Chain A
């Protein structure tokens, strides 16, 4: 049975031009809560730029990003959770990093404490909560970033190569948490170069090349019969 998405982040006809060269060229993308959507493509294909446009970090030259199905709530950048390859680590403790985000959202102090403790327990960092976040390992920093995103109760989660530099244990933990959240209905866009990870996580794949979306398929179809020549080339080693 096909799930009907009731919460969705949509990029409509997005374009971004730099020095007369289209970085993103009329891209339509929707991220709904029908499973994790994988975004793949070669280096320089525009994945990170697209995710930055969707997150509101960059303003598109044309097109718009909108969030639908939020029960009448206005679209807000606060409702978009973003995990980057290199997370923003504030010069504070782990707890301070999380507290900053909730305080900025105007969450009351007693509620902040409960949510932070729950979030840090989820990523197994509760015991280290008073440690300076800059002293953590890459895996711990990324787990902290995930907790910081999730405690803010995002309406959609965008992950840009969030596990590309991490050890298998941290990767497994992050994958498990994201998968569980997606199962609970959180729309997730997952950018990766790791095709094994793509198979593990995604139910739908969007393939990009030179700033355009060239294929958008179910995961099994994508690997079995890629919808474009560029996608077939991208998957070359899968077929060898």
Chain B
């Protein structure tokens, strides 16, 4: 077999480099190929890919929406009121920000498995179960970050609130309205966590093709199959999706600010 001539074709680009340089260049090329493949997959409208993307968006956005419905008022409440056990609750929520996804997955699994207390609902291996697991993961993040941001604002606004004799509900509404930029950041942090999450959704969703398969579980599957290029392209698509959502939210936010 004739050894490849470094002066010809593909190997031309490696000429004059040592082994480490060649490896680095090779990885960069792999990445470029993956990015190209990712855009080809998106552009050609691959049905399976779009199914996975839509399910990912549905699960993650629903989970973040539900987490926001709980986390934002709870964060505002913790920022504006003091009560017995307040500091302990804040410390607990801060701790829960670092919840290991697999532990959450296991907890939800035990709750909704056939022999669990919520087994009759038959939620195991459904998108609903994935939403529940994601929501549990994201709620402490949104609560803690929104509390932190609103507590700072509340310290600034408090003299005015007292002078006006405002009840806690009105204070909370004011802080949420005026602090929406900070709250948006908290929501995006929650969305980022949900988008990147794989352990919990794998356990409670089961990665069932055409039913509970999402971006992250697809990437895991393709990696285990040795399809690194495909896995990498899915990763690029995931990154691209996150970027698009961030851009959309920031644009909408700016427009709202100008209005």
> Using a CB–CB distance below 8 Å, which chain A residues touch chain B?
55-57, 76-78, 80, 82, 84, 88-92, 100-101, 104-105
Contacts and interface: CB of A to CB of B under 8 A. Distances in A.
Contacts of A89: 156
B170 A82 contact: no
Contact of B157 (A57, A84, A88): A88
A224 B157 CA distance: 42
B254 to A, nearest CB: 14
- What is the interface residue range for chain B against chain A? 10 to 19
B162 interface: yes
Contact of A88 (B159, B165, B166, B179): B159
B163 A56 contact: yes
Contacts of A91: 153, 178-179
24 contacts: A55-B159, A55-B163, A56-B162, A57-B159, A57-B163, A76-B165, A77-B163, A77-B165, A78-B163, A78-B164, A80-B163, A82-B159, A88-B156, A88-B157, A88-B160, A90-B157, A90-B174, A91-B179, A92-B178, A100-B174, A101-B164, A104-B164, A104-B170, A105-B164
Contacts of A80: 163
Contacts of B174: 90, 100
Contacts of B164: 77-78, 101, 104-105
A89 B178 CA distance: 11
Nearest to A132: B257
Contacts, number: 39
A101 B162 CA distance: 12
Interface in B148-179: 153, 156-157, 159-160, 162-166, 170, 174, 178-179
Given A84-B159, A104-B170, 10 more contacts: A56-B162, A76-B165, A77-B163, A77-B165, A78-B163, A78-B164, A90-B160, A90-B174, A91-B153, A104-B166
Contacts of B166: 104
A191 B69 CA distance: 45
Nearest to A52: B159
Nearest to B153: A91
A140 to B, nearest CB: 18
Contacts of A76: 165
A101 B157 CA distance: 12
Contacts of B160: 88, 90, 101
